[in-house]
Amino acid sequence: MELKKGYTIVYSSIFFGIIVGSLAVLAQPIFKIHPPQAYGICTICHARDFLNWFSERLFSFKFESAEVSIHYPLATTIGIIIGSILSSKLNGEFKFIKVENLVIKFFLGLAVSHFGLLIMSCPTRLVLRFAFGDPFALFAIIGLLSGITFGVMILKRL
């Protein structure tokens, strides 16, 4: 599933879907990430657990955490950033690119984390929960698709 494009090697997105989809489910029996179900991969939930682990020990301010990361935190988000740095350095695509609208991006990050914590999942985990058969994930995906439609309508008018 490797396609050579010039001098870089690009993987197809179907290859990503097959590998990450099965790995996210196999993480439950193999790596024991299991008291919350369907918890193999999620950016917002693991980030919240990671911050909660540090904040409880440094500032004794404890908010919510899943059962699996009470003793040791889950390091998924750090792994994603490190894996991406590694891959882009090997590719030659690592470059600091500066764009305008930085203040808008900051507030968009704020808003996405609020809505994600409201339903306790990010868009990746929604598809995983839907594969596990959660009925609330179906309603959240319907909301996600309509939200994307509104976003595309706004972007086309700009």
- Subset of 47-66 contacting other proteins (CB under 8 A): 47-48, 51, 55, 63-64
- Smallest gap from residue 47 Cβ to other proteins (A): 6
Applying the rule CB under 8 A, the residues between 22 and 51 that interact with other proteins are: 22-34, 37, 40-41, 43-44, 46-48, 51
Q: How far is Cα 111 from Cα 79, in angstroms, rounded to an integer?
A: 24
Applying the rule CB under 8 A, the residues between 89 and 128 that interact with other proteins are: 91, 93-99, 101-102, 105-119, 122-124, 126-128
Element (H, E) at 9: strand 8-11
| Residues in contact with 23: Cβ distance below 8 Å, sequence separation at least 6, in sequence order | 40, 41
Applying the rule CB under 8 A, the residues between 136 and 155 that interact with other proteins are: 136-152, 154-155
Q: How far is CA 24 from the centre of its chain?
A: 12
